[in-house]
Amino acid sequence: MAEKIKRIGVLTSGGDAPGMNAAIRAAVLTAIHFGVECVGIRRGYTGLISGDMLPLTAEHVAGISKHGGTMLYTARSEEFMTPEGQNRAADNCRFMGVEGLIIIGGDGSFRGAQTLADRGIPVIGIPGTIDNDIGCTSYTIGFDTACNTAVEAVDRLNDTMQSHERCSVVEVMGRCAGHLALNVGIATGATVTLIPEMVIDFETDVADRIRSARLSGKTNFTVIVAEGADMPAETVAAKIQEATGVDTRVTTLGHLQRGGPPLVRDRVTASRMGYKAVELLLTGTYNRIVCMRGDQIVDYDINEALAMTKGLDVDACLMQDALMSGQD
């Protein structure tokens, strides 16, 4: 049987996501519950390379679940992309007595974790990104809160678009994936949603839809454009104005979508995943990614997990297509 780990490290890496704090809290409190010490590493892999570590007690994590962002700070480390940086990070783990490391972040962060696992550091990944674009898990911490933040913003835009009989083109985040855009489009009753997974034909996918919505009596329109779509929001807006004559405005929601208090789904999922991560380390189950499948928290080997891919929910796309002819 593996010897019980005595000290666990936690770090957050890549873009922050609402709910990361709840995952940190759950990891710390679970470790304490089982008599294990927990330390935080500040600024992700950057902090691991420089040895920027702090002990984490129940006091440190009290009340953090309700806050967006990450109390441990986060970074995208250039140095960690190099073998020298990875060696230094692994050496520092050993030097700091970190016998198991929990990495909360996206798939780029997990690839970093893989390099530490290759150097003999036991790692566990927890998926935290507003993009929901990690292949092995049906849900990533922060997605629901980010969707709700974007939906609230679009609802507000709809009020003023209605008054002026305008078209609102709204760019949402999501990197190369359309999960965020698709859900925001469905929830706000958008006239058009453009995602990276589609090849855009402006006439049929945008102009014709706006024209037909106008013919059926609609006087204002919402077009959601994912940041990774193959036509930028500014271009979409200019083309709409030109092709339909509808007065059009562009709004980029940007980093607004990453902030704010995490909603219940993110706090609870993050807590479950933080607990599971520590449980895995304490049972000697190393180099895993904690995932969600249906309602269940499961885990996969890190190499297998990183080889998994996920597409958009096809049923949701078909449903969205049917609903876009509606009158919202």
Report, as residue numbers or ranges, the catalytic residues.
Answer: 131
* Contact set with ligand F6P (CB under 6 A): 15, 106, 129-131, 173-175, 227, 258
Cβ 193 to ligand F6P shortest distance, Å: 16
Tally Cβ neighbours within 10 Å of residue 65: 20
Whose Cβ is closer to ligand F6P: residue 38's or residue 177's?
A: 177
Cβ 130 to ligand F6P shortest distance, Å: 5
Cβ 17 to ligand F6P shortest distance, Å: 7
Q: Strand pairing partners for 167? A: 221, 248
Residue-by-residue DSSP string for 114-156:
HHHHHTT--EEEEEB-TT---TT-S--BTHHHHHHHHHHHHHH
Whose Cβ is closer to ligand F6P: residue 85's or residue 106's?
A: 106
Cα–Cα distance measured from residue 45 to residue 77, given in angstroms and rounded to the nearest whole number: 6
Whose Cβ is closer to ligand F6P: residue 61's or residue 250's?
A: 250
Question: Which of 193, 195, 192 lies closest to 176 in space, CA to CA?
Answer: 195
The single-letter DSSP state of residue 203 is: I
Which residues, other chains included, contact 161 with Cβ-Cβ below 8 Å and sequence gap of 6+? 167, 168, 220, 221, 222, 249
Cβ 5 to ligand F6P shortest distance, Å: 30
Whose Cβ is closer to ligand F6P: residue 90's or residue 181's?
A: 181
Cα–Cα distance measured from residue 258 to residue 251, given in angstroms and rounded to the nearest whole number: 16
How far is CA 109 from each of CA 48, 75, 229, rounded to the nearest angstrom?
Answer: 13, 10, 24
Whose Cβ is closer to ligand F6P: residue 138's or residue 241's?
A: 138
Cβ 229 to ligand F6P shortest distance, Å: 12
| Terminal-to-terminal C-alpha distance of the chain | 60
Cβ 3 to ligand F6P shortest distance, Å: 37
Whose Cβ is closer to ligand F6P: residue 56's or residue 233's?
A: 233
Q: Where are the beta strands (DSSP E) in the chain?
A: 7-12, 37-41, 53-55, 100-105, 123-127, 167-172, 192-194, 221-226, 248-252, 288-293, 296-301
